[in-house]
Amino acid sequence: MIKIAALSLFALLTINITFAQTKRPLNPSDYLRYVDLSDPQVSPDGKWCLYVVTKVDTAKDKHVSNIWMVSWDGKDNVQLTNSKEGESTPRFSPDNKYISFLSSRYADDKKNDASQLWLMNRLGGEAEKITNIKNDIDEYVWSPDGKKILLVMNDVDYSDTSESGHRLPYVITRYHFKQDVEGYLDARKTHLYLLDISTHKIDTLTSGNNNEQQPAWSPDGKKIAFVSNHSDEPDKNDNDDIFIMDAMRSAVPYQLTTWKGEDVQPQWSPDGKYIAYLQSSSDENYTMYGQNMLAVIEAAGGKTNLISSSSDKQLYAPRWSKDGKNIIALMEDDRQQLVASFNAQTEKFSKLASGEKVFWNAELNNANGDWLVNMTDPQTPNELYVLEKNGLRRLTHATDSFLAPLQTIKVEGFQSKSSDSNLVSGILYRCADAPANTKLPLIMYIHGGPVGQDDYEYDLRMNILASAGYAAACVNYRGSSGRGKDYIRSIYSDWGNKEVTDIFGAVDYLVAQGIADSSRMGIAGWSYGGILTDYTIATTTRFKAASSGAGSALQLSMYGVDEYVTQYEQELGTPWQNPEKWIKLSYPFFHVDKIKTPTLFMASQKDFNVPSVGAEQMYQALRSIGVPTELIIYPNQYHSITVPSYQADRVQRYIDWFSKYLK
């Protein structure tokens, strides 16, 4: 018996070792296997959690999201929906009997494929469609008594309903007239509507020439807080304020906040006396370089109390604690996104969960006061966790099968100093089995924004580049978030200067540490990362290859072409009033004859954020002067590429391009 047991143990160890040895490097096709979790919700009784699982339908080359439910103890996990169209935005009814969601499933009218609101019994059975409307539902919120649902919807677009099938011409009168994904903007607005659950009747709550969004019910169900911009020309500023109205037809809203910047994401306190919200740190008309601060105001009106003024870090998604004494929010920090708690009275700040991790959501369990969170770290994609007094407890394992066959990538943070002594934080990705004391070819991948940061999340793109044999590095150049508003604002009206200096400093550090081979270095990025790639290759010939995605170099030509007219006029002035500034910021194009770096340009056909003309101009210029170049246009894609095969294709093209010049 002892010998048999020993033999079995030996066999088991052998199997485990063999399995470990069969793990493979990541490759671009892993985009087609990737699994993502999002939108966690806790049931009113605190015993169950809803969430959305997004996978790739390889046959249709698209992402499909379905709804799952897991018990609070993690023992039971069940898939609730499985349609080919997918479902999103799951919510529990206040009485805990039903689950609602949005979906265009089973659409029988091809001319009306708008997402509808569905209701299904929590115990099982077929879902019932309770709306049949021609406009998409942007948001919805259950009333506290469960009898009504507040809907946020755009006005109906009748421009493509002609019998000929040809869309009517776009009639444009707005200052800000185009937006990525939305396309050309007309005069239609977004308003609030009230759906009666029993009769399915929909009443209009708001109308007119203003957009309303982010509604929140008062705890007693008598009032609604929402966000709107009532300035004379909303397109020319970000002056969002919070309004309150009675939850009935023909009620007149009153304005609660008056800050010249943004007041957004209102949240009622449990007793209904206060509203917590986020206020931008800048009262300028355009607040890209601002930072969200946590504010509290009496629901009846009064003075705003800023309770996060000591943190100087970007905040998201405020939520009241069960006892109403604290407000929980997600806070950006250096390469992290943590869960923070602020005492509503004393303003005392504490970290509930932090470290080399990124938290994406925090939802309260009203039954016990604990929190349901989305969390990812460098080795683990998004999963659900319970944040208890004793720490984190993992609930889901949806990404285990994705990770099972893959080799681990070594991920580590680093800091470098720029030539002007600025301290810059970065993240380095390498194969775990990379030979010691061996310099690797380097790919610097530059994030977009510029306000945003590379952080300690699971980054599939960077993992794939590292698996291809590169030292892949990210750098949070000046303009990035996570380091306070002064760090963000340091590039105001001065693009492609300090950021490039910071990129050089990170490169110098990685070379000096013996990590990067200075003769085999490449640079790439998307959006502002593509723009910085253009700036960098026009400044230096150190990089032997580059890839600029969704970028632009002739900034002078972007006015009226992309969606940033408000920022341009506030930050740079108009081109005819300040042409020297615009030409200075367009130096990559006007110095294109100095570029020697073979560069791959990429763009999306329908991008209104950074239109394809930015890549096309640089491609044409490099072709003209004889520098090796290619141009890739992804059909029918917006700024963010969403077709799974295109996502894989983009990373494969990175690998092929850099292999050609760096290996």
What local confidence, expressed as pLDDT, does residue 125 receive? 83
Given a cut of 90, whether residue 440 has pLDDT beyond it is yes
Average pLDDT over residues 527-535: 97
Average pLDDT over residues 234-262: 93
- The answer to whether 610 and 639 have CB atoms below 8 angstroms apart is yes
Average pLDDT over residues 181-188: 90
Range with the lowest mean pLDDT among 152-161, 222-231, 446-455, 643-652? 152-161
What is the C-alpha separation between 464 and 39, in angstroms, rounded?
26
Cα distances (Å, whole numbers) of residue 652 to 6, 430, 467, 646, 649: 47, 18, 12, 10, 5
Given a cut of 60, whether residue 14 has pLDDT beyond it is no
pTM: 0.92
Given a cut of 90, whether residue 436 has pLDDT beyond it is no
- The answer to whether 493 and 284 have CB atoms below 8 angstroms apart is no
CATH class of 407-662: alpha beta
Sorted by where each begins, the domain ranges of the chain are 407-662
Q: How far is CA 174 from the centre of its chain?
A: 27
What local confidence, expressed as pLDDT, does residue 284 receive? 62
Write the DSSP assignment of 7-53 as a string of letters. HHHHHHHHHHHHHHHT-B---GGGGGT--EEEEEEE-TTSSEEEEEE
Neighbours of 12 (CB within 10 A): 10
- The answer to whether 598 and 651 have CB atoms below 8 angstroms apart is no
What local confidence, expressed as pLDDT, does residue 473 receive? 98
What is the C-alpha separation between 534 and 558, in angstroms, rounded?
15
Q: How far is CA 620 from the centre of its chain?
A: 32
Backbone angles phi, psi at 86, to 5 degrees: 90, 165
Q: Which of 96-110, 309-323, 391-405 has the highest mean pLDDT?
A: 391-405
What is the C-alpha separation between 465 and 487, in angstroms, rounded?
29
Pair type for strands 423-431 and 77-79:
unpaired
Residue 511 exposure: Cα atoms within 13 Å on the Cβ side: 17
Percentage of the chain exceeding pLDDT 70: 94
Percentage of the chain exceeding pLDDT 90: 84
Q: How far is CA 574 from the centre of its chain?
A: 30
Strands (E), 378-491: 380-388, 391-394, 409-417, 423-431, 440-446, 471-475
Q: How far is CA 495 from the centre of its chain?
A: 23
Average pLDDT over residues 195-213: 94
Give, in degrees to the nearest 5, the angle at Cα 181 between 176 and 187: 40
What local confidence, expressed as pLDDT, does residue 1 receive? 33
Given a cut of 90, whether residue 66 has pLDDT beyond it is yes
What local confidence, expressed as pLDDT, does residue 193 receive? 96
Spatial neighbors of 580 by CB under 8 A, at least 6 apart, are none
What local confidence, expressed as pLDDT, does residue 2 receive? 34
Amino acid at position 357, single letter: K
H helix or E strand, kind and range, residue 613: helix 613-625
Given a cut of 60, whether residue 9 has pLDDT beyond it is no
Given a cut of 50, whether residue 12 has pLDDT beyond it is no
**Between these two residues, 407 and 122, which has the higher pLDDT value?**
407
pLDDT confidence band for 283 (50 / 70 / 90): low
Given a cut of 80, whether residue 211 has pLDDT beyond it is yes
pLDDT confidence band for 111 (50 / 70 / 90): low
Q: How far is CA 567 from the centre of its chain?
A: 20
**At which residue do the structure tokens 């529990």 appear?**
92
**Between these two residues, 375 and 15, which has the higher pLDDT value?**
375
Among 188, 154, 156, CA closest to 171: 188
Neighbours of 419 (CB within 10 A): 10
What local confidence, expressed as pLDDT, does residue 164 receive? 72
Given a cut of 70, whether residue 368 has pLDDT beyond it is yes
What local confidence, expressed as pLDDT, does residue 108 receive? 57
Given a cut of 70, whether residue 643 has pLDDT beyond it is yes
What is the C-alpha separation between 566 and 175, in angstroms, rounded?
9
Given a cut of 70, whether residue 112 has pLDDT beyond it is no
Given a cut of 50, whether residue 19 has pLDDT beyond it is no
What local confidence, expressed as pLDDT, does residue 7 receive? 38
What local confidence, expressed as pLDDT, does residue 285 receive? 59
* Rg of the chain over all Cα atoms, to the nearest angstrom: 26
Task: Return the SS3 of 592.
Answer: helix
pLDDT confidence band for 620 (50 / 70 / 90): very high
Average pLDDT, the chain: 92
What is the C-alpha separation between 402 and 35, in angstroms, rounded?
7
Given a cut of 50, whether residue 497 has pLDDT beyond it is yes
Among 538, 542, 554, CA closest to 506: 542
Q: How far is CA 112 from the centre of its chain?
A: 28
Give, in degrees to the nearest 5, the angle at Cα 566 between 560 and 570: 120
What is the token pair recorded at 195? 């759906």
